[in-house]
Structure 1
Amino acid sequence: RSDVIQETCDKAARGDPATIRLDFCLSVFEGNPKAKSATSVADLVEISIETSIANATSMGSLITSLLDKKSIGIFARNCLEDCSELYSLAGSNLRRGGKAFEGKDFGTANIEITAAMDAPVTCEDGFKEKGLVSPLTKENKNFFQLTAIPLVFMKMVQK
């Protein structure tokens, strides 16, 4: 694994331990061929945004498969439909954030990626408000942490 990954994940986990766990951060880049050739924190920002986009897409697929179950109640179905929309929007936010980052427009990148981070929180809240247990809690937590990585790494690039 590239030293830049270890060093950057270490720094991120030390700087923001409530949001970024070292083991999770390292796992985001393990097995990613692009990550192996990363030489800078900026490379890792782009890779983590791409990974977040892929995760938003897979969340959409997971939610669709849950919606296909006939046993889902109407309130849970409504929550899942909301979550599906939220993750679709998150994917768009992340794509715009990635383009902004590539263009060195860090302000826009920050706004777009932060907006994507709202998806898992709002998704969870929808279930809680209805007194339901979310079937997506683990995935929502992972997505939140995943989208936090490019935000924290971007701050390092800007210094």
Structure 2
Amino acid sequence: MRLSIIFPCSLLIILSLLVPHQCITPSEEKPVDIINKTCNTCASKASSNFSYEFCYTSLDAIPVSHATNLGGLGLIALELALVNATNTISIISNILNKNDSSPRCNNCLVSCLELYLDISLRLEECIDEFVSGKKHDILYLWVSEIMQATTICELGFKDDGKVSPLTKENHNLSQLCGIVLCIIDLISPHLNSWF
């Protein structure tokens, strides 16, 4: 239990050290609030599912977000998505270990666990791809697939007439993916693929 609390915190500290130096933009003038600007832009161009509040709150919580550029924000959103996926795997495992759910609910949880294990691996690949900066179209596809996987997890419970215990986690990961997709579009306008 203690490891699951320490891991996300240490990952965010490591993230602050991994943001490329070119992402940091020191300035003697008052810096532009890049978080507000990015979240506003994404909220105005994205689908109605995009939450400005979630975007701003998530990125604002990471101190290095205030001293980075658009690419740095994309990397931070991907790292937050990985933390979310890792925590969700732990949540699902804990629920399954308690063994107080119905067999149908357990089947849905096992399916979601498999999805989140795949999501976690894919997010690691996404981070590597994003840092390389080469193939934003592949990255866009991968992040879109992750976003779709959260919907599949959620619908598994609804199709069985059950209430999903993972609604918050699925929603948060979907929102983080939305931030990443928006940033990819802003960085690579030729993709022209607002979600």
TM-score (norm 1): 0.92
| % identical aligned pairs | 30
- 3-state secondary structure, aligned to 1:131: coil
* 1:5 matched residue in structure 2: 35
Counterparts of residues 42-81 of structure 1 (less than 5 Å): 42-81=71-110
| Alignment RMSD (CA, Å) | 1.5
* 1:99 matched residue in structure 2: 128
Deviations along 1:24-80, one digit per CA (max 9) or x if unpaired, are 000111221221321x11111111001101100001111111112232111111110
Match among 115, 120, 131 for residue 145 of structure 2? 115
Contact persistence 2:84–2:169 (CA under 8 A)? no
Separation (CA, whole Å) in 1 of partners of 2:103 and 2:47? 38
Query: Max radius of gyration: which structure?
Result: 2
Letter in 1 for 2:175: Q
Separation (CA, whole Å) in 1 of partners of 2:178 and 2:121? 16
Contact persistence 2:88–2:116 (CA under 8 A)? yes
Letter in 2 for 1:136: L
Letter in 1 for 2:129: A
Deviations along 1:107-140, one digit per CA (max 9) or x if unpaired, are 1111111111122111111112212111111221
Contact persistence 1:83–1:123 (CA under 8 A)? yes
- 3-state secondary structure, aligned to 1:68: helix
Kindly report structure 1 stretches of 4+ aligned residues shifted beyond 6 Å: none
Letter in 2 for 1:45: G
* Count of paired positions: 158
1:17 Cα offset (Å):
4.5
Deviations along 1:3-23, one digit per CA (max 9) or x if unpaired, are 111100110011114131111
Contact persistence 1:86–1:123 (CA under 8 A)? yes
Decide which moves more: 6-15 or 124-133.
124-133
TM-score (norm 2): 0.76
Separation (CA, whole Å) in 1 of partners of 2:125 and 2:142? 7
- 3-state secondary structure, aligned to 1:72: coil
